[in-house]
């Protein structure tokens, strides 16, 4: 190649790179313009209703701008909290981040906007703030959301208190008195025993000492009191893979469950085989533990986000595989011997409690009410944010 030709080729490459950069910038601006008004609207509801925060209370927003979604949320929170103190996490020393919390009083607010996850030496942020009765909103792993996933995430922040609190409390009441549960997914999985007292993540902190959660919210969860009374087959459309991201294979996977353990897998994939192998290597067998009743209607089988922590709120059933569970204790599963809690997402056709349908046609229907939560009587039960 001649020197002139090489120079011309270099100019062409630079132009292509410049054009790609311009297109990426235009796309980011488009996403910001499209999602910022919705983000502001949704966050105002979260702040006012779920968190019960008002302008009389102090607020600190700790953030980074290493992802498009983080930038949208930063701008939205600052629009909602114009008096908040702003801390760019990676632009200041760790001690300066901690010092920003010192003036806060009980019932003040901290918002964490994280493209990955913030770490401070010898200081677990949410735990330490809860000790002082400071409210905490946490968004993490925002870098995983790309393209349309940003739309889905912002939409998932919409807070309808009548829906979440009405349906959520009614589901808990039904779960707590149920003696059996059935999950239909084109296969049938049976829980032939009572369930553990349900925990709620529905934006109602009225009975809790700690006020806050990782957002988006929208989940009721439980598990079998006797894990060995879980039997049958269940079809899943997605799972948390070995990189802790959502993996959705083209063909649904069927799990065969006997005495609470996965004993066979149909239509598995190489990645799911790796997940199962890791659990088996560390724990000897693969237990089915959590039975999650997701409520967030912004997510769905056709509206996926790669961050499993966000997607586990998806409307429908999810299960956890592996012996580990941070809430429910089983005498035969000692904490130091449990290592894995892997979420899998069920093709949810119907859910029944004591033979009565509580989920059908893509909606929770409790007390004969489907998507009309204002007509559901809410009971004040224990709430557990995660």
Reported as a pLDDT band with limits 50, 70 and 90, residue 9 is: low
Reported as a pLDDT band with limits 50, 70 and 90, residue 380 is: very low
Tell me the per-residue pLDDT of 229-287, one tens digit each, with 9 for 90 and over. 999 999 999 999 999 999 999 999 999 999 999 999 999 999 999 999 999 999 999 99
Q: How far apart (Å, rounded) are the C-alpha atoms in residues 244 and 307?
A: 8
In our burial notation (b when 16+ CB lie closer than 10 A, e otherwise), range 58-73 reads bbbbbbbbebbbbbbb
> Rounded to the nearest 10 degrees, what angle do helices 68-80 and 3-45 cross at?
40
Residue 5, pLDDT score: 53
326: its two tokens: 């941070």
Q: What is the DSSP string of 68-99?
A: HHHHHHHHHHHHH-TT-EEEEGGGS-HHHHHH
Residue 77, pLDDT score: 98
Please name which of 271, 260, 269, 267 lies closest in space to residue 321, comparing C-alpha atoms.
Answer: 260
Residue 280, pLDDT score: 97
Q: Which residue has the higher pLDDT, 375 or 264?
A: 264
Give this prediction's pTM. Answer: 0.87
Q: What percent of the chain has pLDDT over 70?
A: 87
Tell me the per-residue pLDDT of 29-74, one tens digit each, with 9 for 90 and over. 555 678 999 999 999 999 999 999 999 999 999 999 999 999 999 9
Tell me the per-residue pLDDT of 191-200, one tens digit each, with 9 for 90 and over. 999 999 999 9
Residue 34, pLDDT score: 87
In our burial notation (b when 16+ CB lie closer than 10 A, e otherwise), range 370-382 reads beebeebebeebe
Reported as a pLDDT band with limits 50, 70 and 90, residue 383 is: very low
SS3 per residue for 56-75: CCCEEEEECCCCHHHHHHHH
pLDDT above 70 for 371: no
54: its two tokens: 């008002």
Tell me the per-residue pLDDT of 66-105, one tens digit each, with 9 for 90 and over. 999 999 999 999 999 999 999 999 999 999 999 999 999 9
Give 219's DSSP letter.
E
Residue 373, pLDDT score: 34
267: its two tokens: 């239509």
pLDDT above 60 for 377: no
Residue 30, pLDDT score: 52
132-136, 142-146, 205-209: least confident range: 205-209
Residue 382, pLDDT score: 40
Reported as a pLDDT band with limits 50, 70 and 90, residue 381 is: very low
pLDDT above 80 for 165: yes
Neighbour count for residue 232 (Cβ, 10 Å) = 18
- Domains of the chain: residue spans and CATH: 11-156 (3.40.50), 161-375 (no CATH)
Tell me the per-residue pLDDT of 204-225, one tens digit each, with 9 for 90 and over. 999 888 999 999 999 999 999 9
Q: How far apart (Å, rounded) are the C-alpha atoms in residues 128 and 243?
A: 28
Q: How far apart (Å, rounded) are the C-alpha atoms in residues 142 and 146?
A: 9
């Amino acid at each position: 190649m001649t020197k002139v030709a090489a120079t011309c080729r270099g100019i062409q490459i630079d132009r292509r790179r410049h054009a790609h950069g311009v297109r990426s910038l235009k796309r980011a601006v488009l996403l910001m313009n499209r999602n910022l008004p919705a983000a502001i609207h949704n966050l105002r509801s979260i702040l006012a209703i779920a968190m019960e925060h008002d302008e009389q209370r102090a607020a600190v927003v700790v953030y980074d701008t290493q992802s498009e979604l983080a930038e949208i949320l930063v701008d939205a929170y600052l629009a909602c909290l114009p008096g908040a103190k702003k801390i760019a996490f990676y632009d200041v020393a760790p001690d300066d981040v901690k010092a920003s919390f010192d003036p806060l009083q009980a019932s003040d607010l901290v918002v964490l906007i994280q493209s990955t996850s913030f770490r401070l030496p010898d200081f677990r942020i949410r735990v330490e703030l809860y000790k002082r009765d400071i409210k905490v909103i946490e968004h993490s792993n925002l870098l995983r959301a790309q393209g349309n996933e940003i739309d889905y995430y912002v939409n998932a922040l919409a807070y309808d208190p009548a829906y979440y609190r009405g349906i959520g409390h009614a589901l808990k009441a039904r779960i707590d008195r149920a003696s059996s549960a059935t999950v239909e997914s084109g296969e049938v999985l049976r829980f032939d025993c009572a369930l553990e007292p349900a925990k709620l993540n529905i934006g109602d902190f009225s009975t809790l000492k700690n006020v806050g959660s990782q957002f988006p919210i929208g989940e009721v969860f439980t598990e079998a009191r006797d894990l060995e009374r879980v039997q049958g087959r269940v079809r899943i459309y997605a799972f948390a893979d070995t990189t802790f991201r959502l993996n959705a294979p083209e063909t649904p996977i069927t799990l065969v469950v006997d005495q609470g353990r996965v004993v066979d897998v149909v239509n598995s994939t190489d990645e799911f085989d790796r997940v199962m192998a890791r659990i088996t290597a560390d724990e000897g067998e693969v237990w089915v533990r959590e039975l999650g009743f997701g409520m967030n209607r912004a997510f769905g089988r056709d509206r996926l986000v790669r961050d499993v922590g966000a997607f586990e709120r998806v409307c429908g059933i999810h299960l956890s595989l592996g012996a580990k569970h941070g809430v429910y204790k089983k005498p035969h599963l000692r904490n130091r011997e449990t290592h894995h809690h892997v979420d899998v997402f069920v093709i949810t056709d119907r859910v029944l409690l004591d033979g009565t349908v509580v989920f059908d046609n893509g909606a929770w229907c409790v007390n004969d009410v489907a998507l009309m939560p204002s007509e559901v009587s809410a009971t004040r039960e224990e709430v557990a944010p995660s």
